[in-house]
Chain A
Amino acid sequence: MLSCKRVTALIEMKSELNLNTTQHTQIFIHTRFCKSCKLYKKQSGLIDKALGIIISEEVLMMNKPVHRLSVEIKKDILCKIETS
């Protein structure tokens, strides 16, 4: 049986690569007997989803200013740059 370190590495590759049958079997068997790696697999998938959602939301937000910073504050910042 593969070690926990190597199985968790395989689990990460699984999201992007087509693993071969042996590798799939290795993950399957290992996570059947190892509760820790089974939890890791589930949580790793959750983190992937969360990262995907959070980051894409953020990118959308970053490219679309919906509020305007007041002119006074902009002036204030420019003033600080000038006198720095």
Chain B
Amino acid sequence: MELVQTSKNKMQGLLPTWVEEFSDELYSWAVYKTSNKLIAEDLVQDTFLAAIKSFDTFQEDSSPKTWLFSILNYKIIDFYRKKKNDALSNGSAVESRGRFINYFDSEESWKKEHKPQDWEIEENQLLDDQDFRLTLQSCMQKLPSKWLSVMELKYIEGKEGKNICQEVNMSPANYWQILHRAKLQLRGCLENNWFKNL
């Protein structure tokens, strides 16, 4: 009981300062993502409500901003998912976190049903395609959190493998394996949820 009380006190002490500090950034982000101020307001409110409920899962050594943004990003993806009538969550095999496709057979060749298809699209078109972007983000969220943090270090901070290995205390072999697996899952997820719905 006492423990619950302390955690609640801590939450009521910390969260108001986060509202002050981050709500404008969260709101701007939501406006950018949804192009709708009313929806963005709702999403930010939902984000803080979720933060109240799941405050216990916040680890003190992590950044509150990152934590809040990750909640908001779930809310945004959820919003689009509902809007697109669940188009993203239907018909794909890579769905819930932690369930992965093995793309290769026992001889390490592509399994027939998982061979890459030709996306038949120009690079420029692809990078401007809003659906492609949203699907890619949604596919990223399905990766295990450890893989995701490796990908973020690589792509957000432009770090090289050897520095990332040091930072997250991982062997190079392990790093390359994660990157390879993550890329296979991302590619497969894009093919299933974006390309096949074109």
Contacts and interface: CB of A to CB of B under 8 A. Distances in A.
State yes or no: do A and B come from one complex. Answer: yes
Interface of A: 3-6, 8-9, 12-13, 16-17, 36-37, 39-40, 43-44, 46-47, 49-56, 59, 61-70, 73-74, 76-78, 80-82, 84
B127 A69 contact: no
Contact of A12 (B15, B103, B179): B179
A9 B180 CA distance: 6
Interface in B100-149: 103-104, 107-110, 115-119, 123, 126-127, 132-133, 136-137
Main secondary structure of the interface of B (DSSP, over half): helix
Nearest to B133: A54
Interface in B165-197: 176-177, 179-180, 183-184, 186-187, 190
Main secondary structure of the interface of A (DSSP, over half): helix
A3 B110 CA distance: 9
Contact of A67 (B37, B49, B119): B37
Contacts of A56: 155-156
Contacts, number: 132
B136 A69 contact: no
Interface string B1-24: 000000010011001100110011
B115 A62 contact: no
Contacts of B133: 50, 54
Given A49-B127, A50-B136, A81 B187 contact: no
B24 A68 contact: yes
Contacts of A5: 103-104, 108-109
Contact of B137 (A3, A9, A54): A54
Contact of A74 (B23, B108, B151, B155): B23
